[in-house]
Amino acid sequence: MRNKETLKRLVIFLAMLAVITYGSLSPGEETQKLNILDFPNSDKVIHGLMYFLLTGSFIYFLMHHFDSFTNWKVYLMVLGGPVFYGLLMEVLQYLVTANRSAELLDFVANVIGTGLAFLLARAYYRLKSTG
């Protein structure tokens, strides 16, 4: 049963990676069609939300393998993995896409989304361990 649960958690995480990769590297016109928000810099909200979900799905996967959310290795993976991936996506936008460009504020929004997911998970697991 543990292998089935691990597979489910991994699939959720990989699906989030796929969505972010598609959104980051597909033509700008395609991703603009998906933006349901209509205000200046709304794409930053989408960036933050997507990295919040990516980090949450990563935590969901990792916590199947770790006993607690207080391990520094977990913290390093949870914060470092999505932040590095966000940086990689911005670099790839600059290097390999024809009509996309890297934006510092996109990366900042990614980091904020990751940080919020981390802080929420940390609070959740801290409360869970005391009650």
High-pLDDT (> 70) share of the chain, %? 91
* Cβ neighbour number for residue 72 with a 10 Å cutoff: 7
The whole-number pLDDT of residue 114 equals: 98
* Cβ neighbour number for residue 111 with a 10 Å cutoff: 18
| Cβ-proximal residues to 41 (8 Å cutoff; 6+ apart), any chain | 105
Mean pLDDT of the chain: 90
Residue 1 has pLDDT above 60, yes or no: no
Q: In this structure, are residues 93 and 101 in contact, taking their beta carbons and an 8 Å threshold?
A: yes
Residues 20-60 have pLDDT tens digits of 999 999 886 666 666 676 778 788 999 999 999 999 999 99
| Cβ-proximal residues to 127 (8 Å cutoff; 6+ apart), any chain | none
